Structure 1
Amino acid sequence: MYVNVALNIPANKLFTYTVPENLKAKATIGKRSSCDLEHVKPITEILDDEPLFNDEDLRFFSWISRYCIYPLGKTLAELIPTGSEKKDYLWVLPLPVPAGLALSKSQEKLLDYLHSWPQGIALGQLVKNTELKNAATIVHGLHLAGLLQIVERQKKPLAVRTQKIIRLETILPDDLRMTARQEAVVDFLKNSGPMDLHDLIASAKTSSAVIKKLLEKGVLAIGNAEFIRKASLTSSISRTPANITLNDEQEKALAEILSRLHAEAFCPILLHGVTGSGKTEVYLNAITHVIKNGGTA
């Protein structure tokens, strides 16, 4: 059994891998895999229990890849929620250098720095810290000469994310006395059931101080529950309720965009501005205008 894999590298092609017998049942579209960067090598691991997308999604993602002229593997890496991906990196370890060995100044500088890290250092950090333009090439040459060791390590996966869940105690104190705000929270939880702390504060229109008092009185209990990282199945564009007034430059840019829209002819527009200059507000105002006039965006 062979499969085509889109790797997260700048290569606009798929890579073919064999699937070991023990992984055939798991190898389906939409799952990530672990494999070496070589053709017709076996996949070593299937990373997902369930597919992250289906055939229809893949066709759409492939269209995005072609439209943006961006490799499919890197496109998928941008689209898939982050947090649990398997990432490897290279770790460089110093080895003894024979006395009297002739080395270039660049090699000496790199080895001197490396030996200040007896436990080793990540290749990327080594290249950055030595500030040598061809540091990666020097490392490769020293590795071939047996003057340093390179090993592959895996980054630790993201820790389990938890959220604080508030629930009512089953047995309440006999001498319980509560304020009106505290009673409102209790009544709310009776109807809603256990709830995330932040959601409870927002939904019940209460405060953390009220929740804290109820915890101290033994009315509420708090516990941790795993929060599953996942992408939303719906998408929306939301804005803050406050009206934002465009400045003169934004108004000028918006007027230019609207004039092109009113011409009802395709026209590419490049909006240039530094980070934080307000380009997004111009976009959103243009989108709002289009939607109000029966268009789509």
Structure 2
Amino acid sequence: MQNYFLKILEEARYNSTKNKLKRNINAAIMTIHIKNPQEIEKMRVAGKLASEVLDFITPFVRSGITTDEIDKLCHDYMVNVQNTIPAPLNYAPDGHTPYPKSICTSINHQICHGVPGPKALKEGDIVNIDVTVIKDGFHGDTSRMFHVGETSIQAKRLCKLTYEAMWLGIQIVKPGAKLGDIGFIIQDFAEKNGFSVVREFCGHGIGKRFHEEPQVLHYGKQGTGLTLEAGMIFTIEPMINAGKRDIKQMPDGWTIVTKDRSLSAQWEHTILVTHNGYEVLTVSEKTPPPPTFVN
């Protein structure tokens, strides 16, 4: 087990009471845990299981089902079929009330952390389902976009380009690459296509803890930030809006929406830095294939 103590010059923190992004320029020290082979294998297992929850729920995502029903189906599958623990359930970081459900369901203009409830999906909706499981003490974290029936041209384009943006970021991953390179390519691609990147939320290290260092921003400058090393594991999970990047937190304390009510999309994979590149850990039988540009 190795720990590396690295300097981060900027940490993005969201101040929910003022609904704005604050930047702390003060240097902070963060600890990056380099996973050993045994830990990596457990992360592979957890990642596959998380992806299999999304495989399981796919046929149920249709007009008329409520997000609460989706949550209950996923919860039952995780607990009774997989023998995994739903990591979001009762998750309570500092300053938050415990999250009340087992998954996140973010519909249309909801960006992330949508709390499942009695709202039924309808024809034309897009919805992100975000799943994190715990197996043998290790977390697997992934999300996908789903289309409910026939969706708009804009919705299809947004979901497609967000998926491509995630994969452009994934392809950067290798020892020696910089975190800023990942953020830059995602931001550049999104903005060139007329979309905006949410800045208040980011990818994160993951392992025995749900959220570890480093923070993986989906915007940035080339050649800046943390240098990647083999054995690091983190998520890449860009949130991209059809309109402006400004956000708003809902009264439930969790659900984040676009301030202008434009559509938002997100995809997420958990990534291992290997000795010569990367490995996507959140893959299962029905995982959508990579875009054609991926080598």
**TM bracket, shorter-chain basis:** under 0.3
User: Greater share of strand residues, 1 or 2?
Assistant: 2
User: Greater share of helix residues, 1 or 2?
Assistant: 1
TM-score (norm 2): 0.19
From the CA coordinates, give the structure whose radius of gyration is larger.
1
TM-score (norm 1): 0.19
Q: Comparing both chains, which one has the higher relative contact order based on Cα–Cα distances under 8 Å and sequence gaps of 6 or more?
A: 2
